[in-house]
Structure 1
Amino acid sequence: MNVTTVWHGGRAFESTGPSGYPVGMDATPAYGGLGKGATPMELLLAGLAGCIGIDITMILDSFLHQIEGIRIEADGTRREEMPKGFTDIDLIFHVDGEIPDYRVWRAIQMGKEKYCAVSDSLSANINYRLILNGTEIAKPATA
């Protein structure tokens, strides 16, 4: 896979990969940017959530008619010193619908252990939580 990133002045860049969709990035004003694009660290969390989200919808494909919505929150904790990489990331899956919790947990586990290339590429500790129909569901011992 090849992604080309082009500078647009200041701290602004635009990346385009094989999909052809451009992604604009900029630093926050604290780092000399104008805040006119997502930061690379925001995009990293978005990429992680999108990757495992795609994986769980593929794993649960035959049950998607039972799911009304999926929302994934990614909350990252960064080091205080440079480089300020993520040390811990919490992925919180908000799922609404009539689907058994064990099926969702199994899909999350499979995404984590077998399919999500983004999580596999990160050194941060990634924690997973499930909120099904507004209620937090503990991770089963086998997941």
Structure 2
Amino acid sequence: MKVSTKWEGNLAFTMSNPDGNQVRMDARNEAGGEGSGVSPMEAVLGGLAGCMGIDMYMILKPFQDKITRLEIETDGGRNDTAPKYFTAIEVTIHLDGDVPASRVWRAVKLSDEKYCSVANSLNADLTYNVILNGEHVPQVAK
């Protein structure tokens, strides 16, 4: 899976996937951005909600025709100093329809523990490559 994120000037960036779908991001809540897109941290919360929503809908397949609303709110508490990573995320699922509570909770648990790639990526190992003026630059020793 690959996306490209392009600088649009000042603190704005546009993320595009290979199909041409785009998400505009800026630092409106971070460092005086312009407010014309979502912040990168809001995108993380939205990605978590979208991932869990897709999982839950698939897990609740026997009840799909009975679901009239599925809305997921995510509220992230962040570290006070840089880096301001999420220290806790509260996920609230609003589901309306004739679905047993036990099945909804089962779907939540399966998404969280087994299927949701976003939830399970929040502590991923990161590697970095730098291409400067078209050339790969090896990491400089500290």
Instruction: Read off the aligned partner of 1:62 and give its amino acid letter.
Output: P
Give, in angstroms, the shift of residue 27 of structure 1. 1.0
Cα pair 2:112 2:119 within 8 Å, conserved: yes
Instruction: Read off the aligned partner of 1:122 and give its amino acid letter.
Output: L
- After the TM superposition, list the runs of 4 or more consecutive aligned residues in structure 1 that deviate by more than 2 angstroms: none
**Structure 2 residues not aligned, in runs of 5+:** 124-142
Identity of aligned residues (%): 49
Q: What secondary structure is seen at the aligned counterpart in 1 of 2:118?
A: helix
* Aligned residue in 1 for 2:132: none
Q: Which has the larger radius of gyration?
A: 2
Q: What secondary structure is seen at the aligned counterpart in 2 of 1:31?
A: coil
Cα pair 1:70 1:93 within 8 Å, conserved: yes
Q: Structure 2 length as normaliser, TM-score? A: 0.82
For the pair 1:13 / 2:13, whether they are aligned, the reply is yes
Measured in 1, the distance between the counterparts of 2:93 and 2:77 equals 18
**Structure 1 residues not aligned, in runs of 5+:** 124-143
Cα pair 2:6 2:14 within 8 Å, conserved: yes
Give, in angstroms, the shift of residue 101 of structure 1. 0.2
Counterparts in 2 of 1:7 and 1:67: CA distance versus 1, 3 Å: same
Measured against aligned partners, the alpha-carbon deviations of 1:79-127 in whole angstroms (never above 9, x if no partner) come to: 000000100000011111111100101111111111000000114xxxx
Higher RCO (Cα < 8 Å, 6 or more apart): 1
Give, in angstroms, the shift of residue 18 of structure 1. 2.8
Q: Which shifted more, 30-39 or 77-86?
A: 30-39
* Aligned residue in 2 for 1:139: none
Alignment root-mean-square deviation, CA: 1.2
- The residue correspondences of 1:64-103 to structure 2 (distance < 5 A) are 64-103=64-103
Instruction: Read off the aligned partner of 1:5 and give its amino acid letter.
Output: T
Counterparts in 2 of 1:29 and 1:95: CA distance versus 1, 3 Å: closer
Q: What secondary structure is seen at the aligned counterpart in 2 of 1:106?
A: helix
The count of aligned residue pairs is 123
